[in-house]
Amino acid sequence: MTTHIQTSASGLTDDRPSASGLIVDRRELLAGAAALGLSTAFAGPALAADTPKKGGTLRLGMQGGSASDSLDPRTYADSIPIAYSCALWNLLVEIDAKGNATGELAESWEAKPGAVEWIFHLRKGVHFTSGKEFDADDAIYSINLHRGDTKSPAKDVLSPITDIKKIDASTLSITLSGGNADLPFVLSDYHLLMFPAGTTDFSKPDGTGAFTLETWEPGVRVVLKRKAGDYWKPGRGNFDFVEIRYIIDAAARTQALMTGQVDAVNRLDPKTTNLVMKNPNINVVRSRGTGNRYAFVAHRDTKPYDNADVMLGLKYGIDRQKIVDTVFSGFASLGNDHLIGPTNKYFATDLPQRPFDPDKAAFHFKKAGFSGPFDLEVSEGAYAGATDSAVLYQEALKKSGATLNVKRVSGDGYWSNVWLKSAFCAVYWGSRPTADLQLSQAFLSTAAWNDTNWKREDFDKIIIAARAELDDAKRKQMYIDAQKMISDDGGMICFAVSDYLDGYSKKVKGAEPHARYDLNDERIAEKGWFA
Amino acid sequence: MLKLIATRAILGLATLFAVSVLIFVCTQFLPGDVAAAVLQQSATKETLAAFRRELGLDVPAYIRFFDWLWRALHGDLGVALTNGRVIIDVIRPRFANTMFLAGYAAIISVPLSVGLGIVAAINEGRPIDRISNIITLMTISVPEFFVGYVLIAIFTVELGLFPSLATVDSDTGFFDRIYATTLPALTLTLLVAAHMLRMTRTSVLSVMSSPYIEMAFLKGLTRSRVVAHHALPNAAAPIITVVALNLAYLVVGVVVVEAVFTYPGIGQLMVDAVTKRDVPVIQACGLVFAAVFVGLNTIADILAILVNPRLKYRR
Amino acid sequence: MKIFGHKPPFTAWLGMTIVTVNLLVALFGPLLTPYGESQSAGGTWDPPSVAMWLGADQIGRDILTRLIYGARMTIGVALVTTVLSFLMGITTGFLAAVLGGWVDQLLSRLVDIILSIPLLIFALIILGVFGPTIPVLILTIAFLDSTRVFRLARALAMNLSVLEFVEAARLRGEGIWWIMRREILPNASAPLFSEFGLRFCFNFLFVAALSFLGLGIQPPYADWGGMVKDNAAAISFGIFAPIWPALAISLMTVGVNLVVDWLLSIEARPSGAQAEL
């Protein structure tokens, strides 16, 4: 387990002939040499002489935060808090560009057979800003912030942990209630930052990260200052200052980037991305198929969605390609009614993509004896483009003789008032680091966020068994079976998996696509440098 | 007069109290609370309960309100529920920003529109009247965010004159501030000018039909003299009312313009607070807005009485 | 040609033409359109072509078709709201001014309270509690808007209520309603009428502003303000998609106000002053 990530190991391709803006594509990167061969013209200069150098102020224009943002890790839910927190602190485990778990403050780990008991070896010689050396007590304290009686959103993923013990100052043992081969991925959750043991006041950050907090004005800006001396990760932490500007309006963000008022932005509007790419000073980084999964979810225990034929009609009746092309301007992959993204290694490639087939949909509606009206509740508060997607869905369903009423509701309070309560509504699911988290959080009978009320014992069994399965081939087959069950029988119409779209000034280096989040896993502050 | 001002001051305080009650009651009716709004999609029953306990939301609403009121009366607006920041410290720079932008826009728009309105009334029916009328009508008929986008497209993208981000910090100098906020101030000017211009013009013209104005004409006075000396004082009340309304709008209603130009004003703070159900912050913003509004209106009412002698002796 | 015994000037003809065409489009337009209201027949922001004269919107729908359908929703909602808000605002405003005393104080302070809360936030709360259906939408906007009408109506009536003819009517023993209707309303009608023209247009925009919060007109129905909003991002790249609905609103605003101006000039102008022009 090495921590240093090969920042130059990425392939750079441009598969959009019209664009002079550079597009970096992760899927083709995974495809290996063939893809690289096709794109040497672009890959050559970008790969050459990419040695990080120090200095400069990175100005980031970001969406995904508000004046209510806090420094308390138990409240994080959006991009900006993730971005500043991982510049100030570190996690035990980091996710590399390809989606593997690599060590951060944990140097290495091993699982006892059955993957119930785990040993983590912590990195020695890493110090907090206050000068204290990071050790096992800190790690235990920090993880326990999210266990037991806590408000933390990470409580759910940590619930299988039954015990955390210190073996010595730099060794930790974690015991689970059942086997889970993915524990390192669980520990890469962005909430699980490492604090000095006993920290209760998070407003005065004392972290092991590359930066210290210079200005804290949530909703306006956050300024980070590089710590003196060498950062413990070689080649990282290069900018003297990083200034995160809150720019919530997508058009304002794009404009700020194009006119050079910021050096990088997240969440480009897919509709204008093609136009942004025409700007010769801008580098658009596209992380394909790692973004949000956009879906409409129906409660399988509620009429008429308890009828399997109604569900199939709704699934065949949606024109996914049209939505991807118009609402997301092609910057998305087709969804196949489950949540595993096309770049995940357990993605069910042999599960055929569900086509748009109005006749088949009409057949199923007829068999069910019901073709609407269906009431679909949507909101831009669920995700940008939900309303437009629903309107196109409504149009497409007309072709199979079904009626859909699109009911737009307030984005304000959507997650507490509509989602999980409405029988048919819009939802997005973020990318999770593992197939297990991705599926179990949404589809297990016992899951708190099972938004389709779909409950099947045989499915639960597969997921639990796959967790502890260490034979990768067997494990893959289990996940494929699980995906098939959800796709055929579940209540989710997942029609698109979006791409992350970052915009960078060409002078920003280290701007790569990442398997998990945008802006290089929200770590561009730590990973980037100026040419 | 003093008695009137004293009455209005007391009524103003009563209004502030009523506003804080009303806002508090409304926030209680809003679906969801701060815990649900912060944890969003990742909320579970247990984590919500833990969050609420931590913030003291498990005590009854009226107790929380009186607790807040007691401390507010002592000048303590408390801390934000979401991130524990001291609310006064959060609001102060943002309120200053809002007032700066509103002042900038007012300095351009009020003289411009009242002046143009009088000129238009004097030259009723002539080209200058018609042109100013149609141009201002067109500017207000475009949604405010779109006016902003169009100004950005012209002045930032095409001409490169002004920045599209109105970023100001505590260490931004006065002239840099003016430069950075020019586009938002222009946007606001375009939004409020038409209303004031038209009301000035209409009020002046409406007074022009009074018998004493005809009398003045019969005396052989010039049209501009009649307007300035006879019509304007009597038309002042509705003009002052509309100017006050628009000034209040410049402070209270600029959320969308703030978002388009990423200007750190108090409007966005209140929207964020409503979205996150951060009640003490909503309360504080509401109080600030209400104070500005009540203040402006009191001044407007007093001015209207001062310029219209008949009203003075009524009470 | 004469209307109401007056010969309209050119601008008034222009205004009447614009308003009439818009009303006709609102009533009969949907019969003319080549596409359905929500039919996505093109790609995102396709440029104008023979098939789509004004090009396509953000999800490939014909902009011209959407404009025509949008006329009904936009004008209808704005008209109903504005009439309602004026009914409420004028009645309460005149009452406050004529009765004075505690009625005035009560109403004025109530309005102060409502006005001092940002409009969007108030709308957010009301619609959050009652749900975003069109009747609730109309009542909400009308209610919030009437507070602004109230202030103007009150200011006008305050000025009038101390004039000789109102005093005379009071001394004659006329009732409140009679005074309000017969003495104050006719004399305050000019500024109120002018305000009506403006508020009517503001209400177009308020509907658009509400769609920012996801509370405006329900999809797939078109409204002009919402169309501007949905396509706004294109303008920075020189794409004209949002310009058309913005132009439609502008045109309607100018048209309505040209007519209002003309009516004002024949209503409020005594013969002497008119001769002076």
CATH number at residue C151: 1.10.3720.10
Query: Inter-chain contact C212–B194, Cβ cutoff 8 Å?
Result: no
CA distance A189 to A187: 5
- Kindly provide the ipTM of the predicted complex, given to two decimals: 0.88
**Do B127 and B67 reside in the same domain of the chain?**
no
**Do B297 and B267 reside in the same domain of the chain?**
yes
- pLDDT at C182 (0 to 100): 84
Give the model confidence (pLDDT) of A107-158 as tens digits: 999 999 889 999 999 999 999 999 999 999 999 999 999 999 999 999 988 9
Interface membership of C170 toward B (CB under 8 Å): no
Query: Inter-chain contact B262–A247, Cβ cutoff 8 Å?
Result: yes
Give the model confidence (pLDDT) of A392-404 as tens digits: 999 999 999 999 9
> Any residues with CB less than 8 A from the CB of A209 and at least 6 apart, and which?
A86, A87, A88, A89, A90, A237, A526
Give the model confidence (pLDDT) of B49-104 as tens digits: 888 888 888 888 889 899 899 988 888 888 999 888 999 999 999 999 999 999 99
A497: enclosing H helix or E strand: strand A492-498
Q: A530 pLDDT exceeds 90?
A: yes
CATH number at residue B151: 1.10.3720.10
- pLDDT at C244 (0 to 100): 93
Nearest to C230 by CA among C2, C97, C91, C70: C70
Classify residue B107: in a domain, yes or no: yes
CA distance A14 to A36: 10
- Residues of B with Cβ-Cβ distance to A262 under 8 angstroms: 165
**Do B110 and B169 reside in the same domain of the chain?**
yes
Q: Which residues of C touch A (CB under 8 A)?
A: 36, 38-40, 43-45, 58-60, 124, 127-128, 131-132, 213-215, 218-220, 230, 232-234, 236-237
**Do B147 and B209 reside in the same domain of the chain?**
yes
Identify the residue with better confidence: A366 or C29: A366
- Residues of A with Cβ-Cβ distance to B42 under 8 angstroms: 77, 153, 156, 449
Interface of B with A in 72-101 (CB under 8 A): 80, 82-85, 90, 94
Q: C125 pLDDT exceeds 80?
A: no
Identify the residue with better confidence: B10 or A413: B10
Classify residue B80: in a domain, yes or no: no
CA distance B157 to A256: 10
Give the residue from chain A lying closest to C40, CA to CA.
A392
| Closest CA–CA distance from residue A376 to any residue of chain B (Å) | 19
Query: Inter-chain contact B50–A412, Cβ cutoff 8 Å?
Result: no
| Closest CA–CA distance from residue C199 to any residue of chain A (Å) | 25
Q: Taking each helix axis as running N to C, give the angle between helix C10-28 and helix C63-99, from 0 to 180 degrees, rounded to the nearest 10.
A: 110
Interface mutation vs chain A, best among B29, B42, B150, most A CBs within 10 Å: B42
- Collapsing DSSP to helix, strand or coil, A241 comes out as strand
Query: Inter-chain contact B137–C250, Cβ cutoff 8 Å?
Result: yes
- pLDDT at B310 (0 to 100): 63
Which amino acid would we find at residue A295?
A
Classify residue B79: in a domain, yes or no: no
Closest CB to A410 among C45, C214, C232: C214
Closest CB to B39 among A153, A245, A417: A153
Subunits adjacent to chain C (3 or more Cβ pairs under 8 Å): A, B
Beta bridge partners of A375: A405
Classify residue B64: in a domain, yes or no: yes
**Do B62 and B121 reside in the same domain of the chain?**
no
Classify residue B42: in a domain, yes or no: yes
Q: A37 pLDDT exceeds 70?
A: no
| Cβ-count burial B12-23 (b if 16+ within 10 Å, e if not) | beebbbbbbebb
- pLDDT at C2 (0 to 100): 67
Query: Inter-chain contact B146–C119, Cβ cutoff 8 Å?
Result: no
Domain boundary pick from B73, B108, B125: B73
- Residues of C with Cβ-Cβ distance to A376 under 8 angstroms: none
Classify residue B78: in a domain, yes or no: no
Give the model confidence (pLDDT) of A251-305 as tens digits: 899 999 999 999 999 999 999 999 999 999 999 999 888 889 999 999 999 999 9
Residue B22: which domain range?
2-73
- Residues of A with Cβ-Cβ distance to B50 under 8 angstroms: 149-151
Q: A341 pLDDT exceeds 80?
A: yes
Q: How confident is the model at residue A221 (pLDDT cuts 50, 70, 90)?
A: very high
- Residues of C with Cβ-Cβ distance to A379 under 8 angstroms: 214
- Collapsing DSSP to helix, strand or coil, A235 comes out as coil
**Do B129 and B245 reside in the same domain of the chain?**
yes
Half-sphere exposure of A289 (CA within 13 A, CB side): 20
- Residues of C with Cβ-Cβ distance to B304 under 8 angstroms: 155, 158
Q: Is the pTM of this model over 0.95?
A: no
Report, as an integer, the average pLDDT of C249-274: 70
Give the model confidence (pLDDT) of B217-265 as tens digits: 888 888 888 877 778 877 888 888 889 888 988 988 788 888 889 999 9
**Do B112 and B249 reside in the same domain of the chain?**
yes
Domain boundary pick from B73, B104, B135: B73
Classify residue C48: in a domain, yes or no: no
Query: Within a 10 A sphere around the Cβ of A471, how many other Cβ atoms?
Result: 9
Classify residue B194: in a domain, yes or no: yes
Subunits adjacent to chain A (3 or more Cβ pairs under 8 Å): B, C
Give the model confidence (pLDDT) of A357-391 as tens digits: 999 999 999 999 999 899 999 988 889 899 999 99
Please give the interface size between B and C, counted as residue pairs whose CB atoms are below 8 Å apart: 188
- pLDDT at B313 (0 to 100): 55
**Do B163 and B278 reside in the same domain of the chain?**
yes
Structure tokens, A153: 């959103």
Query: Inter-chain contact B164–A249, Cβ cutoff 8 Å?
Result: no
- Residues of C with Cβ-Cβ distance to A271 under 8 angstroms: 44-45, 58, 233-234
Count: domains in chain B: 2
Give the model confidence (pLDDT) of A38-70 as tens digits: 333 333 344 444 789 999 999 999 999 999 999
**Do B189 and B239 reside in the same domain of the chain?**
yes
Q: A7 pLDDT exceeds 60?
A: no
DSSP string, chain B: -HHHHHHHHHHHHHHHHHHHHHHHHHHHHSSS-HHHHHHGGG--HHHHHHHHHHHTTTS-HHHHHHHHHHHHHTT---B-TTT--BHHHHHHHHHHHHHHHHHHHHHHHHHHHHHHHHHHHHTTTSHHHHHHHHHHHHHHTS-HHHHHHHHIIIIIIIS--S-S-----TT--HHHHHHHTHHHHHHHHHHHHHHHHHHHHHHHHHHTTSHHHHHHHHTT--HHHIIIIIIHHHHHHHHHHHHHHHHHHHHHS-HHHHHHHT---HHHHHHHHHHTT-HHHHHHHHHHHHHHHHHHHHHHHHHHHHH-HHHHTT-
Structure tokens, B270: 């209140």
Query: Inter-chain contact A77–B38, Cβ cutoff 8 Å?
Result: yes
Report, as an integer, the average pLDDT of C220-237: 87
**Do B153 and B55 reside in the same domain of the chain?**
no
DSSP string, C194-252: HHHHHHHHHHHHHHHHHHHTT-SSPTTS--HHHHHHHHGGGGGGT--TTHHHHHHHHHH
Report, as an integer, the average pLDDT of C23-35: 87
Q: How confident is the model at residue C213 (pLDDT cuts 50, 70, 90)?
A: low
Count: domains in chain C: 1
Give the model confidence (pLDDT) of C44-56 as tens digits: 899 999 888 999 9
Structure tokens, B291: 């104070």
Closest CB to B149 among C128, C225, C236: C236
Classify residue B189: in a domain, yes or no: yes
Nearest to C203 by CA among C79, C70, C18: C79
Share of chain B above pLDDT 70, in %: 97
Share of chain B above pLDDT 90, in %: 25
Classify residue C135: in a domain, yes or no: yes
Chain mean pLDDT for chain C: 83
Q: A18 pLDDT exceeds 70?
A: no
Give the residue from chain C lying closest to A379, CA to CA.
C214
Classify residue C62: in a domain, yes or no: yes
Interface membership of C105 toward B (CB under 8 Å): yes
Interface membership of B159 toward A (CB under 8 Å): no
Q: C264 pLDDT exceeds 80?
A: no
- pLDDT at C272 (0 to 100): 31
**Do B125 and B61 reside in the same domain of the chain?**
no
Domain boundary pick from B28, B46, B73: B73
CA distance A447 to A460: 10
Q: C273 pLDDT exceeds 80?
A: no
Q: A31 pLDDT exceeds 60?
A: no
- pLDDT at A35 (0 to 100): 32
Chain mean pLDDT for chain A: 88
Interface membership of C209 toward B (CB under 8 Å): yes
Give the model confidence (pLDDT) of B129-183 as tens digits: 888 888 888 887 788 888 999 999 999 988 989 999 998 887 888 999 999 999 9
Taking CA atoms, A378 is separated from A313, B301, C101, C127, in Å, by: 20, 46, 49, 16
Q: A2 pLDDT exceeds 60?
A: no
Residue C78: which domain range?
10-32+55-268
Closest CB to B134 among C113, C254, C264: C254
Q: A497 pLDDT exceeds 70?
A: yes
Query: Inter-chain contact C128–A410, Cβ cutoff 8 Å?
Result: yes
Classify residue C160: in a domain, yes or no: yes
The beta strands (E) that lie in A325-411 are given as 332-334, 374-378, 404-408
Tell me the backbone φ, ψ of residue A118, rounded to 5 degrees: -125, 145
- pLDDT at C274 (0 to 100): 31
**Ramachandran quadrant class, A359 (left: phi over 0; alpha: psi -120 to 50; beta: rest):** alpha
Classify residue C103: in a domain, yes or no: yes
- pLDDT at C1 (0 to 100): 60
| Closest CA–CA distance from residue B105 to any residue of chain C (Å) | 18
**Do B63 and B149 reside in the same domain of the chain?**
no
